[in-house]
Structure 1
Amino acid sequence: MSRTTALQLIAAVITIAVLAVLHQGLDWFLSKASTDFMVGVMVGMFLVLLVWIYEDRKERRSRAVDGSGSAEQQGARHTIDL
């Protein structure tokens, strides 16, 4: 077995362990939370997604008008910062 394969297997095991811990923690947290809280979280996530889509489309339109390559790199930096 090559070194790359071994590292990928180790990364997969660590990822599965982290996801299992997150699943247990979120299950405990959400069982304690009220319905109003969960509805508020869902509405907040939906609004953030709408703003993100709006800003991304606005950025793409401005990039299409400018046509410069540096704007594409700047857009990628803004997405990473977000």
Structure 2
Amino acid sequence: MSRNTLLQLIAAVITIAVLAGIHQGAGWFLNRMSLDFTLGMLFGMFLVLAVWIYEDRKARRSRAIGDISPAEQKSARHSIDL
């Protein structure tokens, strides 16, 4: 077995263990919270995701049309600011 294959297998095992831990922790946390809190958190996450997708599409559309000035073409910087 090559060194790269071994490292990939180790990384996969570590990733699975971390995801399982996050799953258990999130389940424990959400079981301790009320239903109102959980629904509010899910709604807030959905709202943030919807605004992010809307702004990203708006930025891509204006970039495709060519409405953005060269100073505003730093899309990575705008994504980080968002």
Confirm or deny a common fold (TM above 0.5): yes
| Structure 2 CA distance for aligned equivalents of residues 30 and 23 of structure 1 | 11
| Residue type at the aligned position of 1:49 | L
How do 1:1-82 residues align onto structure 2 when only pairs under 5 Å count? Answer: 1-66=1-66, 71=73, 74-79=74-79, 81=80, 82=82
Deviations 1:57-78 (A, max 9, x none): 110111012288x73xx22443
Identity within the alignment, % = 65
| Structure 2 CA distance for aligned equivalents of residues 11 and 76 of structure 1 | 28
TM-score by length of 1: 0.82
TM-score by length of 2: 0.82
| Structure 2 CA distance for aligned equivalents of residues 23 and 50 of structure 1 | 24
**Pairs aligned (count):** 78
Normalized per residue, the structure richer in helix is 1
The answer for unaligned runs of 5 or more in structure 2 is none
Asked which structure has the greater RCO (Cα within 8 Å, sep 6+), the reply is 2
Secondary structure, aligned partner of 1:27: helix
RMSD over equivalenced CA pairs, Å = 1.9
Q: Which runs of 4+ in 1 moved over 4 A?
A: none
